[in-house]
Structure 1
Amino acid sequence: MRVLAALTLLALSAQASAQCPDFQSPANPPSFTKPAKKSFRHFGSTVLAGLYKPWHMVHDQMVRSGQAATVTAKFDYDAVLHKDLEGEYVHAYLYGTGMGGWSYLGRHTTDSDGKINVAVGTRPVGEYRLRFVVEGDLSQVDGYLSVVDPNRPAVLFDIDGTLTINDFEAYADYVGVKTAQAYYYAPQTVKAYRDKGYQLVFLTARPYWVTKDARQWFDYQGIPQWHYRSNPYGDGPIPPDTQAHKTNYVKYLREQVGLNIVRAYGNATTDIAAYADGGIPKAQTWIIGEHAGSSGTQAVDGDYSYHFSTVVAATPNANCN
């Protein structure tokens, strides 16, 4: 059964003829010079930045080749209060595949929600790192843009309870996210797909304000930080639309971006339903934990060690170049 799954994946990925993801360029940006620091436009912002630590985040974006991209960044302060930075200047920069240095994307003004929407334009196929710098205190945050050819083979992961042992989503206990214990051989599983040339997608129902800790966890585990997509819901610790959020994003990736999601991992019944509704076959839906193998999905038993040796190791390289 496990060998059959790998052979099925071979047939699916063989349909692809796309450029492999460039995991090197965004992970190794050139030296960066910050803009000149200037006073905040509003006195309240000066007080805010003086009292609290920045807790900014970026919604990673993925688009089909030839499609113009817009990336949203949000700026707030304090891990608990999340007070928005309103009406202040932010400088935006881009670096990635085929570029010799950072490209300046202009100065933008945060809205009443502390957000800016930056038009990145139509970029060549590749992986890009965006950097945003607040003019008033020079605090910064990075995010990522992926521009992909249609049919690029990809592997999608939920995080909480799937890569980590604790299901933070279920209990809204996000305090330990950045140091959460990973399932045995979960990081090796992710890295193996990366090394085989698959696009990585991390789709979580976590609210957006956990992004900073999530990226620190990726760094700690040695996993690429992107493509990371959280729930934009911000009115409470447990978003009420977990399944819809995941279903809609899977559909976006498959139908509008044209991503060929050949395998998906999760742990919850909402993952099973969201992946199925998004069009991912249950034969390529792998579930770990108490719902492993439920509703016709494939079971990851215990941890990832046996799955790695029998399924992941046997998975062919993505048909990309």
Structure 2
Amino acid sequence: MRRAPYFLAILGLAAAAGCTDDDLPPLSDAKVLTCPHPGNLPFRTDSHAFARSESRTLDSKNTRVKDEGADVLGNPGGKSADIYLADDAMAESGAFAYRGAKARTTPTGGLFSNPFIGEAVSLWHFDAASDTWEAHGRANTDEMGRFEIDASSFVVANGEPIYSILEGDGTCAEQYDLMLPPGSKVVVSDIDGTLTTDDAELIMQVADESYVPKMMTGGNTMLQAWAAKGYPIIYLTARSHQFRSESRVWLRDLEFPIGPVITSNMTNEADGYKTAWLKRMFTEFGWVPVAAYGNADTDIIAYENAGIPKDKTFIVGPLAGDSNTVAIPNMDFTQHTQTYVSAQPNNQ
């Protein structure tokens, strides 16, 4: 009798190995996935269960998703860099890879990430021209839960998501490309204390997965106004990579424009890291900043180091107007949007 559970387990594994499409959830007709929990997928991945029992345990006991999907920025056919590039490294020409990580934690354990090791991840993109979902490579995660998939065979348009699917449970993370020629005009914004009401809002969310950080009044409307005029939005935050999932969900749910989210390797001070990325965008890629938003002295320093004019540097919060920057008064972007952003020309 003691051996019965063993035989039942073997039977269960055999059944799983021999499953057919009839045994799987029905395909959805979705053309966009809501990450990290998209529900039934609109395509079939090569595998449908975790490869390791440890992963099944991790998935069942740690329900908070801590995935990372690395956005890529650069010039079409030229130099590019993803968010993992070292602060002191130069962008490189040639093919790049889509990178990321798959991990979980508890609902209150936002500071921690427990990696999925040796599990399959596949990349997917919906091609509107052919009205079909396309797979773009597959890899297994390493000891840190990271994956890397070569991107040389395809190019995705700016603003269109690429989804990294953890095949074991069908969860996903979004990643985006922003490929612009030299001379392109862009808008840059910090997140914490600039688009949220305070730096402490993230701390509240770290401790409680259900907590929704409060938004600075009019923050989403302000960036929507820039995006409506054709200006790409770039989010440059001192948050570490492990908060990419929280950042993406918050920006999406509060209806901020789609754009790359640059997070930190945590190998430099915030002003040094931001300076490195700003110079990468404006010197190596040749992009032109038309507005930069922040709240902290590190934002002011980084924007100045990168050569962003003071009359295009907009600071909200207690330091509003410091160091000859333009003040956003009363912790509210509404007036700025109505008087300044609305008066700017469309991006040609």
Q: 2-side partners of 1:190 and 1:291: how far apart?
A: 21
Q: 2:192 aligns with which of 130, 144, 160?
A: 160
* 1:219-230 equivalences in 2 (<5 Å): 219-230=252-263
The answer (yes or no) to whether the contact 1:73–1:116 under 8 Å persists in 2 is yes
**TM-score, normalisation: structure 1:** 0.81
2:183 corresponds to which residue?
151
* Alignment CA distance shift 1:40-1:125 (3 Å): closer
State the match for 2:170 in structure 1.
Answer: 138
**1:168 to 1:292, Cα distance in 2 relative to 1, 3 A:** same
What is the deviation of 1:222?
Answer: 1.4
CA RMSD, Structure 1 to Structure 2 (Å): 2.5
Letter in 1 for 2:99: T
Give the alignment partner of residue 290 of structure 1, picking from 318, 323, 333.
318
2:214 & 2:322 partners in 1: Cα distance?
24
| Structure (1 or 2) with the larger CA radius of gyration | 2
The CA distance in 2 between the partners of 1:316 and 1:58, in whole Å, is 33
Q: Which runs of 5+ in 1 are unaligned?
A: 1-26, 234-238
What displacement does 1:72 show? 1.7
Q: CA deviation at 1:255?
A: 2.2
Separation in structure 2 between the aligned mates of residue 98 and residue 291 of structure 1, nearest angstrom? 48
Name stretches of at least 5 consecutive residues in structure 2 with no aligned partner.
1-29, 34-40, 79-94
Pair 1:124–1:260, CA change in 2 (3 A):
farther
Contact 1:92 1:108 in 2 (8 A): no
**2:338 aligned partner:** 309
Pair 1:188-2:215 in alignment: no
Amino acid in the other structure paired with 1:105: H
Tell me the CA shift for residue 94 of structure 1: 2.8
- Measured in 1, the distance between the counterparts of 2:189 and 2:128 equals 24
The aligned counterpart of 2:103 is 76
Q: Secondary structure at the match of 2:186?
A: strand
Counterpart position of 1:205: 238
Measured in 1, the distance between the counterparts of 2:156 and 2:60 equals: 40
Identity of aligned residues (%): 27
Conserved? CA contact 1:125–1:149, under 8 Å: no
1:317 deviates by: 0.9
CA separation of 1:197 and 1:82: change in aligned 2, threshold 3 A: same
TM-score by length of 2: 0.75
Where 1:249 maps in the other structure, the secondary structure is: helix
Q: Deviations over 1:192-239 (max 9, x none)?
A: 001000000011111222222222222222113421111233xxxxx8
1:6-155 correspondence to structure 2 within 5 Å: 29=32, 32-53=42-63, 54-67=65-78, 68-79=95-106, 80=109, 81-95=112-126, 100-121=131-152, 123=155, 126-155=158-187
1:179 is paired with a residue of what secondary structure? coil
**In 1, Cα distance between equivalents of 2:283 and 2:174:** 27
Q: Which residue number corresponds to residue 255 of structure 1?
A: 283
Secondary structure at the residue paired with 1:40? coil
Worse-matched range after superposition: 30-39 or 258-267: 30-39
**Cα gap change, 1:151/1:97 in structure 2, threshold over 3 Å: closer, same or farther?**
farther
* Deviation string, structure 1 residues 21-47 (Cα, Å, up to 9, x no partner): xxxxxx964983141444433322222
In structure 2, the CA distance between the partners of 1:42 and 1:190, relative to structure 1 (3 Å rule), is same
1:292-311 C-alpha deviation (Å, 9 max, x unpaired): 11112111111112212221
- The residue type paired with residue 230 of structure 1 is T
CA distance in 2, matches of 1:97, 1:276: 41
**For the structure 1 residues 295 and 146, does the alpha-carbon distance in structure 2 shift closer, same or farther, using more than 3 Å as the test?**
same
Cα separation, 2, equivalents of 1:28 and 1:127: 14
Q: 1:164, 1:49 → 2: CA distance?
A: 30
Cα–Cα, structure 1 residues 69 and 148, in superposed 2: closer, same or farther, change >3 Å? farther
User: Using the alignment, how far apart are the partners of 2:284 and 2:157 within structure 1?
Assistant: 15
Greater relative contact order (Cα 8 A, min sep 6): structure 1 or 2? Answer: 1
1:316 Cα deviation from its structure 2 partner: 1.2
| Contact 1:125-1:148 within 8 A present in 2 as well | no
Cα distance per residue 1:243-301 (max 9 Å; x no partner): 12211111121123322221100000000111111222222111111111111211111
Relative to structure 1, is the Cα distance of residues 61 and 114 closer, same or farther in structure 2, using a 3 angstrom cutoff?
A: same
Deviation at 1:173, TM superposition (A): 4.2
